[in-house]
Structure 1
């Protein structure tokens, strides 16, 4: 089993993620989850739901207990819209902890795969503990952001995935040195034996967890689309246009290269 083969297995198991499963069943996490996108950063806490961004119109939307504020000005809404806003708030409060759970499980899959590769390639408990330190750091990051109701575009873009990529890159160098040492000291056979013993079991466990994660992601996507439908039913208009906080994500859109999207659309 070559270093390349082992790392490819790790990558396929979970280095890049999304809240829904991709065509190759690789878990991923992105703001375009469920083919629905938001141009906003989002904060959900006991005070309400905030959506905010640096540019675009409007820049800030806030709603709580049926009231709506747009760019820090309280808006007049109908009784029906007040009910819809309460449903949006309730849905956001329900959704955020579930997204956190998916993110934590995605992290678990990715680092379990990496730890498995490290164990196969090195047989070193010390090196596996290094992976666990990377895992702990990433979980703290998740709990301090999503776990506190905060979804920022930069948090779950390059800044988030870089934690997993950094762990893989640092361990790659260590794996390469370990493999070369085993080859030159005549211990490659032990590595091969470990691979034969562990690889099939690791693949089965990762595949089973990825399948379960995909089902969780599908359930989350259904909830996101329900929220989008409630939003679409709002009677309120901002400067004559519909207020859009969730929208269909353009196909093949690269979040990092995307231009800011206005949160209003022409009324029907």
Structure 2
């Protein structure tokens, strides 16, 4: 009985970790996305326009607003049709940011809600109070970073990764250590009543969390899927414009790759086709 209980507890906590970590990739690819989407740029959205910038690669900075385009400080001539496409692209990105921010917030809240449920179930006394306070602080920190980042019009993949690594993943790691330590101690104590009580807590939590997380994850999934039509539209605009850089390459603000590819080379070939279309 002892080993299955310990293993079951570990699986339960790892499930919480997975739920918390899902928000890292939310919004880039679901069944309703035509392709997998990403961008090599950090993006700043302000009233003055839309800025794409990076420290590795060229062009380093692209700025567009109301159909006008500037690349690395140089104004670029664009056709009337391309100006309209750039105008629509900017509008699409402006509408996308609040949706991504909302999904990121809900992903964080869902992850911390699950960790709080685990803490309330397995931790006792001073340990419970201390862990709950830490989770509360970490959640507030993660939400604040989202609000100051994508929520304020500033997208950075590195910043989003740091938010989840620093706030969510650290909390999961601490929680795993605490819960598994308690489970091992109970199992090794030889106290069958204590082991049975912990087993009952785990089974009750498993059922409760399954219902709650299933409901919330379905709601989050629906919001995630709603993003893909907008990403599909941005991809079509990028494919359609004829804007070329000084080196002759097409203006590419987002990377478009085929979904579920088993071959990196085929991904690269498709990417080249898209970029040259």
Query: TM class, shorter-chain normalised?
Result: 0.7 to 0.9
Matched position secondary structure for 1:238? coil
Is it true that 1:198 corresponds to 2:205 in the alignment?
A: yes
Following TM superposition, by how much is the alpha carbon of 1:192 offset from its aligned partner in structure 2, in angstroms? 3.0
Is it true that 1:228 corresponds to 2:241 in the alignment?
A: no
Over the aligned positions, Cα root-mean-square deviation in angstroms equals: 3.1
Q: Provide runs of 4+ in structure 1 moved above 3 Å.
A: 20-23, 176-190, 249-254
Following TM superposition, by how much is the alpha carbon of 1:6 offset from its aligned partner in structure 2, in angstroms? 2.4
Matched position secondary structure for 1:248? strand
Following TM superposition, by how much is the alpha carbon of 1:101 offset from its aligned partner in structure 2, in angstroms? 0.4
Following TM superposition, by how much is the alpha carbon of 1:139 offset from its aligned partner in structure 2, in angstroms? 0.9
- Report how many residues are paired: 253
Aligned equivalent of 1:6, options 9, 12, 22:
12
Following TM superposition, by how much is the alpha carbon of 1:200 offset from its aligned partner in structure 2, in angstroms? 0.8
Deviations 1:165-221 (A, max 9, x none): 111112223324444565647544433333333321211111121122112111112
Alignment correspondent of 2:59:
58
Cα separation, 2, equivalents of 1:160 and 1:246: 23
Alignment correspondent of 1:257:
none
CA contact (8 A) 2:12 2:206 kept: no
Matched position secondary structure for 1:241? coil
Matched position secondary structure for 2:55? coil
CA change 1:166–1:38 in 2 (3 A) is: same
Following TM superposition, by how much is the alpha carbon of 1:61 offset from its aligned partner in structure 2, in angstroms? 0.6
Mapping of residues 171-210 of structure 1, within 5 Å: 171-180=175-184, 184=189, 187-210=194-217
Alignment correspondent of 1:29:
none
CA change 1:36–1:111 in 2 (3 A) is: same
Alignment correspondent of 1:243:
251
Alignment correspondent of 1:169:
173
Following TM superposition, by how much is the alpha carbon of 1:7 offset from its aligned partner in structure 2, in angstroms? 1.3
Is it true that 1:41 corresponds to 2:42 in the alignment?
A: yes
Mapping of residues 92-103 of structure 1, within 5 Å: 92-103=93-104
Alignment correspondent of 2:71:
70
Gap regions ≥5 residues in structure 1: 26-31, 255-260
Counting helix residues as a fraction of each chain, which structure ranks higher? 2
Is it true that 1:144 corresponds to 2:144 in the alignment?
A: no
Gap regions ≥5 residues in structure 2: 265-270
CA change 1:90–1:170 in 2 (3 A) is: same
Give the structure-2-normalised TM-score. 0.79
Cα separation, 2, equivalents of 1:209 and 1:36: 25
Matched position secondary structure for 1:49? strand
Cα separation, 1, equivalents of 2:233 and 2:121: 44
Deviations 1:113-169 (A, max 9, x none): 211222222255513333222211111111111111111131133x23312111111
